[in-house]
Amino acid sequence: MTPCSACDAALSNWYFEKDGLLFCKDDYWAKYGESCQDCGHIITGPVMVAGDHKFHPECFCCTSCGNFIGDGESYALVERSKLYW
């Protein structure tokens, strides 16, 4: 089996490739993933974007009231990072 370029773990049928290097899921996302502006965890699925910031859909909520802001709903981005519904 081929090893992960970062941790040398044996790769199964599922792996990630970037610039000719092979990675296990955890090392790929740690190296190339983007962090959620709200919770700080790596985003590995759908993403909500506000300005230059990216969020998990479940973290895309109003700073003031905590209500979730759904896809297509209006919001204001204040001070480049605070969301308001």
Tell me how far apart the alpha carbons of residues 16 and 64 are, in angstroms, rounded to a whole number: 39
Residues 21 and 39 in one domain: no
Tell me, what's the pLDDT at 85?
Answer: 77
Which backbone phi and psi does 3 adopt, to 5 degrees? -90, 155
Q: Who has greater pLDDT, 26 or 81?
A: 26
Residue pointed to by tokens 């081929």: 2
Q: What is the pLDDT of residues 16-69, one digit of tens each?
A: 999 999 999 999 989 999 999 999 999 988 999 999 999 999 999 999 999 999
80 and 51 Cβ atoms separated by less than 8 Å = yes
Residues 12 and 39 in one domain: no
Residues 14 and 43 in one domain: no
Beta bridge mates, 17:
22
pLDDT band for position 9 (50/70/90)? very high
Tell me how far apart the alpha carbons of residues 73 and 37 are, in angstroms, rounded to a whole number: 19
Which backbone phi and psi does 49 adopt, to 5 degrees? -120, 135
Task: Report how many domains make up the chain.
Answer: 2
pLDDT band for position 71 (50/70/90)? confident
